[in-house]
Amino acid sequence: MIQRLLILILLPLVLSAAKVDYLRWDNGMTYLSFLAKHDLPSRTLYWNLDSEDRKLTEEIYSGVRYQILRDDNATAIQQVLIPISDELQLHIYQDRKGKYVFEAIPIIYNTKIQSFTTTITSNPSSAIYDATHSKRAMSAFISGFRKSINFALHVQKDDPLVMIYDQKYRFGKPFSMPRLQLAKIRLHGKWHGVYLGADERYYDAKGHEVEGFLLVKPVKRARISSGFTKRRWHPVLHKYRAHLGMDYAAPRGTPIHAAGAGTIIEARRSPSYGNVMKIRHADGYMTLYAHQKKFRAGMRRGKRVKKDEIIGYVGTTGLSSGPHLHFGLYKHNRAINPRSVIQVTTKKLTGKKKKQFDNIVKHYDEEAEMILASNKQAERFFDFDPVCYVKHDDFGEGAERNETVRK
């Protein structure tokens, strides 16, 4: 399957040199307005698609890097690649008859496990950015300690820090947020650490969960009718599917609650999601509420809402087979599983899970000691030109598989 995808994507490059534009999705641009802007057929590439594919076009987020491949004359569009999650991208291409085709395909990427140490000159944010040239790495480190350390009060010059994380790369550029594995910083002679546990949650060295962004259920006493999936292959339809959220089945008119405090950044009617609302929260989180019957009176863009406040009512607007709420959770525009943050209290590891975690801490602490002893420096990333010309021999066999590389 992957080989077939690569042939489709790279075939024009094999035939001749081609121009590739590396672009960012404009704020406020919809998939339909993108098609209109580039004179691409909306009937073929949207209205004739099945409901699930049309819903996927709603997952394109502002600022995402996407690619347009044009012909030798740099005019006609041959292919478009638009990521909608860490694992899936929308692919528009011309078939042999010159007709445009839409499909969802896996993202081909490689992952680098990166680690480094540095010392603070003024604050941890600037120290990490100076070391890595990565705002993503800086944000991941600071978020880990947001609830436990006030860096403005406790940080001193020359305090050391250590960081281990993995970063996905797509077309040679960092893609999506880093996955933090370890963050350590020494303050007043004492080390403080945040460790990634086996359950993909974060804990301090004693096994206490690091309190982060906790949500309440958006629909009370409702059953989950469909769970979160980043990517799956449908054996009957022979195409990739994704469900980047959770569906709560409930009677029409059931109140919908804001999962967390924040600001409404969007409340509109969508062809696929019907009445849809988006709320921006702290620490880069955003929640989405789709298929609403109607919004609660006064709920509009720019309004601040409280956690658990009623914002609308369950409905079946848009592409919906029955009354339910499609609830999406995003961090830095990346769809994540809401189950990972919907909980009432933080927890402390005990028993076998605590022993397993102690081994994880021991492993990371040993690795941190080696990083400090060798004064390991970060690999800095510098962006490159948004337009380039490529030939088929620029792509090796390594591009045909996802892989992890330790740096």
At residue 396 the predicted structure's pLDDT band, cuts being 50, 70 and 90, is very low
Domain count, the chain: 3
| Same domain membership, residue 241 and residue 203 | no
Whole-angstrom Cα distance, residue 380 to residue 112?
13
Query: Which of 340, 362, 397 marks a domain boundary?
Result: 340
| Same domain membership, residue 248 and residue 205 | no
Does the residue 378 lie in any domain?
no
pLDDT tens for 249-301 read: 999 999 999 998 999 999 999 988 999 999 999 878 899 999 999 999 999 99
Q: How far is CA 96 from CA 3, 7, 9, 101, in A?
A: 18, 13, 13, 11
Lowest model confidence (mean pLDDT) among 105-109, 209-213, 372-376 = 209-213
pLDDT value at position 155?
Answer: 80
pLDDT value at position 210?
Answer: 82
| Same domain membership, residue 120 and residue 131 | yes
Query: Which of 107, 140, 165 marks a domain boundary?
Result: 107
What is the full DSSP assignment across 332-344? TTEEE-GGGTB-S
Q: Percent of the chain, pLDDT > 70? A: 85
pLDDT at residue 384 is higher than 70: no
Does the residue 330 lie in any domain?
yes
Higher pLDDT, 347 or 256: 256
pLDDT value at position 238?
Answer: 73
Does the residue 278 lie in any domain?
yes
| Same domain membership, residue 331 and residue 234 | yes
pLDDT at residue 322 is higher than 80: yes
pLDDT value at position 233?
Answer: 72
| Same domain membership, residue 287 and residue 139 | no
pLDDT value at position 379?
Answer: 82
pLDDT value at position 343?
Answer: 52
Domain that holds residue 368: 110-212+347-373
Does the residue 61 lie in any domain?
yes
Query: Which of 299, 323, 340 marks a domain boundary?
Result: 340
Lowest model confidence (mean pLDDT) among 79-93, 110-124, 254-268, 375-389 = 375-389
| Same domain membership, residue 115 and residue 103 | no
Positive/negative CA dihedral, 338, 344, 346, 348: negative
**Residues in the chain, overall count:** 407
Does the residue 256 lie in any domain?
yes
| Same domain membership, residue 329 and residue 294 | yes
Lowest model confidence (mean pLDDT) among 22-31, 199-208, 342-351 = 342-351
| Same domain membership, residue 17 and residue 88 | yes
| Same domain membership, residue 122 and residue 92 | no
| Same domain membership, residue 330 and residue 360 | no
Does the residue 404 lie in any domain?
no
pLDDT value at position 150?
Answer: 74
pLDDT value at position 402?
Answer: 58
| Same domain membership, residue 79 and residue 138 | no
pLDDT tens for 171-184 read: 788 888 899 999 99
pLDDT averaged over the chain? 84
pLDDT at residue 16 is higher than 50: no
Whole-angstrom Cα distance, residue 392 to residue 401?
17
| Same domain membership, residue 118 and residue 69 | no
The CATH number of the domain holding residue 258 is: 2.70.70.10
pLDDT at residue 329 is higher than 50: yes
**CB distance 126 to 152 below 8 Å:** no
Does the residue 218 lie in any domain?
no
The CATH number of the domain holding residue 154 is: 3.10.450.350
Does the residue 217 lie in any domain?
no
